[in-house]
Amino acid sequence: MPVNDDVFAALAHPARREVLGILLDGPRAAGEIAERFDMRRPSLSEHLRVLREAGLVREERHGRNRVYSLEAAPLQEVFQWLSPYERHWHGE
């Protein structure tokens, strides 16, 4: 199955990769995620939107809070796409 180009585009930015790392430990409210970054909220919101549209995170509303969780399926597709190249990582 080909990987959606939006996934690669989302993964290209270090802040978005860091958000995914934060979500490895479980769902987090947008405010919790924001505390980990030195950027304005609108910038973080844009990064979260890109991740959501790429299918890498899910957003749920809990009252006034938006809670984000990791969606791993697109990462599995990236892994499957990369796996034929693995032998070259090991110098084979």
Report the number of distinct structural domains present in the chain. Answer: 1
Using 50, 70 and 90 to split pLDDT, how confident is the model at 89? confident
Query: Domain holding 68: CATH number?
Result: 1.10.10.10
Q: What pLDDT does residue 7 have?
A: 95
Give Dmax (Cα) for the chain: 53
pLDDT in tens, 28-55: 999 999 999 998 989 999 999 999 999 9
Contacts for 55 with CB less than 8 Å, ≥ 6 apart = 4, 6, 7, 71, 73, 74
- Tell me the whole-structure pTM to 2 decimals: 0.89
Q: What pLDDT does residue 28 have?
A: 97
| Domain assignment of residue 77, given as a range | 5-89
